[in-house]
Amino acid sequence: MTSRYAVLPCNGLDKSVGCITREIALGLVEKSETDLICPVMFRVSDARYTKIAADKPLLVLDGCATRCASKLAAEKGLKVAKKITVTEEAKNRKVAVGKSLKLGDSDLRLAEAVVEELLKEEKPKESPAGQDFSTIVYDYETYKKDKFIFRVPRSGFYFNENDCWVIVSGNRARVGVADFVQQSLSDIMFFTPPAVGAEIEQFGELGSIESGKAVFEVISPVSGVVTAVNDELISAPELLNENPYEKGWIAELELTDFDEDKELLLDFEGYFKVLKRKVDEFHVK
């Protein structure tokens, strides 16, 4: 077993999902070369844990959407390699988490399943950037409002009304978010990628991005299977602010039925109109 992480669980004592993060962390320590970071001790002893977090890829385990462990990692300026939220894991596996703070059988099984998956995940990394998308020519139209500039690529891209884009090459697609998203969120601090291999329906969730202001769920413009994610965004989410169409792309998918998906998508002209309306409304407030 060569899998190893520096694992930071939220260890939330007063919620069962918080207690499950502890169980997952302990499972990883037992079954791999993982080092444990205690979130309570971390508050008072930087030196001890900062080194561990620098030596190994950091895995952050949050129990619930409050994401205390993620926030602690951000506060300490740590680079996060992977993040897991127990409520999401439970949902994905259709497990109902018990209310009792003493973990029941199904809670323990959930923790075990997450540990196994984490240890299995030593996929040899394919080059994430697909060759097919290296020749895109980016030509932007812009819409300005006050100090904000919103770019929209003029050709080749399709959009949904949730401000996510897709560009297609054969049966493969690359997906991301539009400038409107990064401008509205301002400084993006976290990127939670979708799982490679996950089957996504049109308008399904393709991970999420988060700033100090809000969390934005990436809403897939197309249906398909996730073949790659832009790992760079995990350690450098600011790429999304720099340019969400180029280095800030989110994921690649193998398409299921693009012809059908296309019916519910907008081309440049259609999206530019929607964008202008949204920007104007947003700024009225």
Partner 1 sequence: MSEVTFMGVPRSRIDWYPTIDYDKCNYCMDCDEFCPHNVFEIRENEEKKLIVKNPHNCVVFCRACGKTCGLDALSFPNKTETTKRIKEVRKELEGND
Binding site for partner 1 (CB under 8 A): 64-66, 87, 161-162, 201-204, 208, 214-217, 219, 263-264, 282, 285
DSSP state, 216? Answer: E
Query: To the nearest whole angstrom, how small is the minimum distance from the Cβ of residue 57 to partner 1?
Result: 25
Residue 109 CB contacts under 8 Å (≥ 6 apart), including other chains: 95
Q: Min. distance of Cβ 65 from partner 1 in angstroms?
A: 5
d(CA 8, CA 80): 10
DSSP conformational letter for 266: B
Nearest-approach distance from CB 208 to partner 1, in angstroms: 7
Inter-helix orientation angle 16-31/105-120, to 10°: 50
- 3-state SS assignment for residue 164: strand
Q: Which of 31, 262 has the CB closer to partner 1?
A: 262
Q: CB count, 10 Å around CB of 4?
A: 17
SS3 96: coil
Q: Which two tokens stand for residue 25?
A: 């962390």
66 vs 235 by CB, closer to partner 1:
66
User: Which residues have C-beta within 8 Å of that of residue 44, sequence separation ≥ 6?
Assistant: none
In angstroms, what is the minimal distance from the CB of 73 to partner 1? Answer: 17
Give the residue from 32, 21, 26 showing the smallest Cα distance to 110: 21
Smallest gap from Cβ 8 to partner 1, in A, equals 18
CB atoms within 10 A of CB 166: 23
Judged by CB, which is closer to partner 1: 125, or 285?
285
How far apart CA 207 and CA 88 sit, in angstroms, is 11
Closer of 53 and 61 to partner 1 (Cβ): 61
* Nearer to partner 1 (CB atom), residue 146 or residue 263: 263
Q: Which is nearer to partner 1, 3 or 66 (CB)?
A: 66
Least distance to partner 1, CB of residue 54, Å: 29
- Report in angstroms how near the CB of residue 81 gets to partner 1 at its nearest: 22
DSSP 173-213: EEEEE-HHHHHHH-SEEEEEPPPTT-EE-TT-EEEEEEESS
Which CB, 202 or 241, lies closer to partner 1?
202
Residue 84 contacts residue 60 (beta carbons within 8 Å): yes
